[in-house]
Structure 1
C-alpha cells in the first residue's frame, strides 16, 4: 500500500536562515508519508533549501497568499501532485516525526473537512495565544472539533478542494487570507477540523511586529466581507468588527494606521469581486461556532 503524498510549501525572504534550517530539519524527519517540498523565494532566490526540494524565485514580493499559490502551482506543474498540501511557515517546526502522518490520518477520519489544523504552540509545547486557536471560544486550546477559520502558516489542505476554490486570494497580500479561504471552502460544501492533540511549534511572535499590520488587517477585513457576505450581513459584520478593532487600537496602539486601513478598505471595496455566500453557508458557519457577523 502506497504512503500518502504531502506536498509542502515553504515561503521565505531569506530573513531567518538559522530558524529555517532548524524547521526544515524537522520537516525532513517526517515519517509515514512521502513528502515533496518547494521553497518559494518571495522577491529573492531561496538560500536555505532541503535536498531534492524544488525552488521558485519570484522577482518581487507578491505577498504571502501569492507566494504560497506560486509554490502550490510549481508542485502541480512538476507532475503527480500530492493529494495533500501543507503550508508551512519558515520558522515553524514539527515537534514529532509523525505530525504529517497523523494530520493525514485525521483528515481521512473527517472526509468532510477540506483542511485540518494542528494546535500551534510556542517552543514550550504548551503556550497557545488566543489568535492561534481557530474558533471563537479559545480558552481551551486543547479541545478539538469542527472549525470555520484557520491558522494559515501550519495547515493541511486537500489539494482538490484548494484548487477548486482558486487557492489563496492574492490581492489580500498579508492577513486574513485564512478567513477568506475558509469561507470559500465552506461555500463549496466543505468544513474544517481542528486536531488539537497534534502540535506544531512556532516562536511566540506578535503580528503587530510587521509595520503593515494595522493598515492591511483593517483593509482586508472590509475586503473579505465585501467579497463573501450577503448584503444583509455586511453592516452587522462590519459594525461589530469596527467596534472591536477600534477599541483594541485605542488600548494597544496603531489607531492611525487602523483608521487608514479602514478608509482604504471602504473606498476600494468595489474593486473586490463579490461572490456572496449562500444562507445555507451562513447557517453552517454558525453551526461550526463562527457566525459571519463577528
Structure 2
C-alpha cells in the first residue's frame, strides 16, 4: 500500500475535529500520516489536538487563509504518495481511505478519487456523490438531500469537493489557487486535474459522514459569484466562452434579480470590480494553463450539465423556464465546442 497523507483543515472546530482525526486514525490500512492545517483557531483546538493526538502534525496559520491556502500549507510538507484533503467536520468510515486508494491504483488515468458523503444525522441521505457542474460554471453536490441510491461501481465526476489524489497529479497541476479564498476552489482544482488529462471518479464504497449546515448567506453569495466568473475566465477556451455567452448573460440577469431581492445589489457590483482588478493576473494564469492543457474543452465539458439546480432554491421560474432553456441551448452548442 502506498504511503498516504491526510490534510485536515480546521477553523474553530474543536467540537468535531477529534472525531475526524480519530476516524482517520481508525482506518483499516496503515501508513497514514495526518497533518492539521489550522486557520488561526481561537477555541483551543490546537491545545486539544496536541494533548489528544500527539502523533498529528499541526501547522499553525496566523489567520483564516481559507480552505485552499490551508491545504497548500499542508501540501508543502506532505510526504505521502497519495494525498487526501479533509474538512474538520467529517467522520470517515473505517474502509474509506482504503477504497479511495484502491480506485487510484486500479487505473493510471484516474487522478482523483472522490468519496460518497452522507449526512451524519441521516446516514441514508446523500450530502454529495461527486459534484455536478453546469456549463455556466455553477456547481452543486450530486444527489444532495436524496436517498442513497446504493451505487456499487465507480463513476466519473466533473468535480470533487473532497478527494484523494496521486502525488504526481499535485506535482503536475500545482496546489489550490490562493486567489479563491472560499468557494469554487475545489472546482478550479478539479478542472486543472482534468485539463492535464486525468479523470476524476467517485468511489461509492468510500464513505464519509458530514456535519452539514447549508449556508446561503452574504459571504457565500459574494465569493461564489466572484470565483465562478474567475475560474471560467481562467480555464475555459475563448471559443467556448463565446459559445456559452448567451447562457452566461441569462444567468447574470437571474443573479441580478436574486441580488436585488435579497438586497445584495452592491455585493454583485463588488464581485465585478474584484474580477476587473484581478483580470491581469487571470490572463497570466491562462497562459500557464496552455502549457498544462492536454485535452480540449470538448472533453472537459463532456460531463457538464445542461440543466441547472441550485442548492436550497425552490424557484418555479428556475425549474420550469431557465433550466429547460439552458438545457436546450446546451444541446445546440455542445457539438460546436
TM-score by length of 2: 0.74
Q: Which range moved further: 33-42 or 228-237?
A: 228-237
Query: Structure 1: how far apart are the matches of 2:30 and 2:251?
Result: 43
1:105 partnered with 2:105: no
Instruction: Describe how 1:140-219 pairs up with structure 2 within 5 A.
Output: 142=149, 143=151, 144-151=154-161, 154-209=162-217, 211-219=218-226
Query: Structure 1: how far apart are the matches of 2:126 and 2:110?
Result: 23
Query: Structure 1: how far apart are the matches of 2:132 and 2:65?
Result: 29
* Partner of residue 82, structure 2: 84
Question: Aligned-residue CA RMSD in angstroms?
Answer: 2.9
1:230 partnered with 2:227: no
- Structure 2: unaligned runs, 5 residues or longer: 135-141, 307-329
Q: Deviation digits for residues 32-58 of structure 1, max 9, x if unmatched? A: 231101111213583342331111112
1:12 partnered with 2:27: no
Query: Structure 1: how far apart are the matches of 2:255 and 2:229?
Result: 17
Query: Structure 1: how far apart are the matches of 2:5 and 2:24?
Result: 11
Query: Structure 2: how far apart are the matches of 1:254 and 1:176?
Result: 23
CA positional deviation for 1:169? 0.8
CA positional deviation for 1:150? 1.2
* Higher-helix-fraction structure: 2
In structure 2, do the counterparts of structure 1 residues 215 and 237 end up closer, same or farther at CA, with 3 Å as the change threshold? farther
TM-score by length of 1: 0.84
* Partner of residue 78, structure 1: none
* Partner of residue 286, structure 2: 274
CA positional deviation for 1:25? 1.6
* Partner of residue 74, structure 1: 77
Matched position secondary structure for 1:184: helix
Structure number with bigger Rg: 2
Query: Structure 2: how far apart are the matches of 1:254 and 1:221?
Result: 20
The aligned length equals 281
In structure 2, do the counterparts of structure 1 residues 61 and 136 end up closer, same or farther at CA, with 3 Å as the change threshold? closer
Matched position secondary structure for 1:207: coil
CA positional deviation for 1:216? 1.2
Matched position secondary structure for 1:46: helix
> Contact 1:33–1:100 at 8 Å: present in 2 too?
no
